[in-house]
Amino acid sequence: TWAQVPQGPPDPILGVTEAFRADRDPCKMNLGVGAYRDNDGKPYVLSCVRKAEKRLLDKSMDKEYLGITGHPGFVQRASKLAYGADSPALAESRVAATQSISGTGALRIGGEFLSRYYPYAKKIYLPTPSWGNHTPIFRDSGLEVGQYRYFDKTTNGLNIDGMLEDLQNLPANSIVLMHACAHNPTGVDPTAEQWDQISQVIKDRDHFCFFDMAYQGFASGNVDRDAQAVRQFVSRGHYVALSQSFAKNMGLYGERVGTFSLVCQSTEEMKAVESQLKILIRPLYSNPPLNGARIVNQVLSDSTLYSEWLSEVKGMADRIISMRTALKDHLVNDFGSQHNWDHITNQIGMFCYTGLKPDQVEKLTKEHHVYLTKDGRISIAGISSRNVEYLAQSIHAVTK
Ligand code: LMR
């Protein structure tokens, strides 16, 4: 029966973890998937999360189904975190929102919704490059996928002119996806001034902006600063969609907790959108899981846990920044690499887009047991002070 089923390729990101697990070398490093590790290279559960879990356990709560759109307290607090406590759109009850199966689930809900109800187009434009999962998510949602210029290989920075030109030339009312902060995979974000220019072109061309915010707090260490682009767009009258994830900033990877939201023009519109989100979600998975939403709700609603969380996010962001500096220092000062490695410290968030070529990536994995995605992206969050020198030595060896 299944003889005609072709063998598929491994996932470009999660497949790297599978290969890493099969490697027996003690020096092996997994810099593929974006998952934070502490300075001993161990998975890190935030202490605010441990405390929230303990409180929840002490309450002996039930395990009833959530509603289709999830935990109301969680959704409300998560939306405040994203749009800002003083957001007029929230105050005016015109943000449709639902809990989602983390960022991927939020993007899929958004893709499905746009594919059914966006009146002007059935195509979404992604930055080049973008997170590898964006294309299949939107294609499976029934949208065509296009691209706009983003990364400049010659500077390892943003190609702002190419980006603005492409956005200007797209058909009016196009759907464009933007990374709210800590762009994955490049670690290159627009400056506040560049966001202004982007916002203006999007406004002029009546484009619709779908923000993917998977790293709030990870770019700068400050959750408000990292939400600036989203908030700025909303305050300028853009009716944005937003995918929000708590995988990285609360370390809740396997709990799969996030939200999808859409800023509407009126409460009436918001109600109709929410009714359609329910209709779309019910046949997908009925209703979302309970535990992660309860944890986030607990952390966001208790001022002590909330401040503890803010300092833990900053701690993670700072450790990543210190690993960037250490990696560059080792490459340049200890191993005397002649290449320019400034982008390691200029880029932000979990990832560095190293500029390594596919054959160098392959060598790094085969000869040095360093696992990374084929595009040369490394997860800085996977480096520790114990192996940063080994990594620098290995990168130097394949780039000499
Ligand atoms: C990544 O890009 O490594 C993360 O977003 C994890 C994932 O699911 O791909």
Tell me whether residue 391 is in a domain.
yes
The per-residue pLDDT for range 139-170, each reduced to its tens digit, is 999 999 999 999 999 988 999 999 999 999 99
Which tokens is 185 given? Answer: 């995979």
Tell me whether residue 54 is in a domain.
no
Residues 163, 190: Cα–Cα separation, whole Å: 10
Last residue of a domain, one of 267, 301, 335: 301
Tell me the CA–centroid distance for residue 255 and ligand 1, in Å. Answer: 14
Tell me the CA–centroid distance for residue 392 and ligand 1, in Å. Answer: 23
Averaged over 28-54, what is the pLDDT? 95
Helices 72-83 and 291-301, packing angle to 10 deg: 60
The per-residue pLDDT for range 98-140, each reduced to its tens digit, is 999 999 999 999 999 999 999 999 999 999 999 999 999 999 9
Indicate whether 129 and 32 sit together in one domain. Answer: no
Mutate-to-test residue for ligand 1 from 11, 13, 253, highest number of ligand atoms within 8 A of CB: 13
Indicate whether 69 and 188 sit together in one domain. Answer: yes
The per-residue pLDDT for range 318-364, each reduced to its tens digit, is 999 999 999 999 999 999 999 999 999 999 999 999 999 999 999 99
Mutate-to-test residue for ligand 1 from 131, 181, 186, highest number of ligand atoms within 8 A of CB: 131
Per the CB < 8 A criterion, the answer to whether 82 and 258 are in contact is: no
Tell me whether residue 78 is in a domain.
yes
CA-CA-CA-CA dihedral for 359, 361, 363, 369, to nearest 10: -160
Q: What is the pTM of this model?
A: 0.96
Predicted confidence at residue 198, as pLDDT, reads: 98
Mutate-to-test residue for ligand 1 from 14, 30, 133, highest number of ligand atoms within 8 A of CB: 133
Tell me whether residue 297 is in a domain.
yes
- The 3-state secondary structure of the chain reads CCCCCCCCCCCCCHHHHHHHHHCCCCCCEECCCCCCECCCCCECCCHHHHHHHHHHHHCCCCCCCCECCECHHHHHHHHHHHHCCCCHHHHCCCEEEEEEEHHHHHHHHHHHHHHHHCCCCCEEEEEECCCCCHHHHHHHCCCEEEEEECEECCCCEECHHHHHHHHHHCCCCCEEEEECCCCCCCCCCCCHHHHHHHHHHHHHCCCEEEEEECCCCCCCCCHHHHCHHHHHHHHCCCCCEEEEECCCCCCCHHHCEEEEEEECCCHHHHHHHHHHHHHHHHHHHCCCCCHHHHHHHHHHHCHHHHHHHHHHHHHHHHHHHHHHHHHHHHHHHHCCCCCCCHHHHHCCCCEEECCCCHHHHHHHHHHHCEECCCCCEEEHHHCCCCCHHHHHHHHHHHHC
For the chain, what is the domain count?
2
Percent of the chain beyond pLDDT 90? 96
Predicted confidence at residue 267, as pLDDT, reads: 98
Ligand 1 pocket check for 253: Cβ under 6 Å: no
Indicate whether 145 and 208 sit together in one domain. Answer: yes
Indicate whether 133 and 35 sit together in one domain. Answer: no
Indicate whether 31 and 136 sit together in one domain. Answer: no
Last residue of a domain, one of 301, 333, 349: 301
The per-residue pLDDT for range 198-236, each reduced to its tens digit, is 999 999 999 999 999 999 998 999 999 999 999 999 999
Averaged over 367-391, what is the pLDDT? 95
Indicate whether 94 and 33 sit together in one domain. Answer: no
Residue 23 sits in a domain whose CATH number is: 3.90.1150.10
The per-residue pLDDT for range 173-182, each reduced to its tens digit, is 999 999 999 9
Indicate whether 254 and 144 sit together in one domain. Answer: yes
Indicate whether 155 and 259 sit together in one domain. Answer: yes
* Of 117, 156, 63, residue with least CA distance to 376: 156
Tell me whether residue 176 is in a domain.
yes
Domain that holds residue 24: 14-44+319-399
Predicted confidence at residue 164, as pLDDT, reads: 98
Tell me whether residue 51 is in a domain.
no
Buried b (16+ CB within 10 A) or exposed e, 109-147: bbbbbbbeebeebebbbbbbbbbbbbeebbeebebebbe
Indicate whether 202 and 100 sit together in one domain. Answer: yes
Atom of ligand 1 nearest to the CA of 32: 3
Indicate whether 138 and 73 sit together in one domain. Answer: yes
Indicate whether 228 and 108 sit together in one domain. Answer: yes
Residues 76, 84: Cα–Cα separation, whole Å: 11
Residue 71 sits in a domain whose CATH number is: 3.40.640.10
Whole-number Cα distances in Å, 387 to 29, 348, 383: 8, 20, 7
Phi, psi for 79 (deg, rounded to 5) = -65, -40
Ligand 1 pocket check for 387: Cβ under 6 Å: no
Instruction: Tell the residue nearest (CA) to atom 1 of ligand 1.
Output: 34
Last residue of a domain, one of 273, 301, 329: 301
Q: Supply the mean pLDDT for the chain.
A: 96
Residues 221, 223: Cα–Cα separation, whole Å: 7
Whole-number Cα distances in Å, 72 to 78, 106, 229, 286, 353: 10, 16, 25, 16, 38
Tell me whether residue 309 is in a domain.
no
Atom of ligand 1 nearest to the CA of 373: 3
Q: Identify residue 276 by its one-letter amino acid code.
A: Q
Tell me the CA–centroid distance for residue 79 and ligand 1, in Å. Answer: 22
Cβ contacts of 273 within 8 Å, gap of 6 or more:
96, 113, 262, 264
Write out the catalytic residue numbers. Answer: 131, 212, 248
Per the CB < 8 A criterion, the answer to whether 104 and 257 are in contact is: no
Tell me the CA–centroid distance for residue 237 and ligand 1, in Å. Answer: 31
Indicate whether 279 and 365 sit together in one domain. Answer: no
Ligand 1 pocket check for 373: Cβ under 6 Å: no
Tell me whether residue 142 is in a domain.
yes
Tell me the CA–centroid distance for residue 339 and ligand 1, in Å. Answer: 28
Instruction: Tell the residue nearest (CA) to atom 4 of ligand 1.
Output: 34
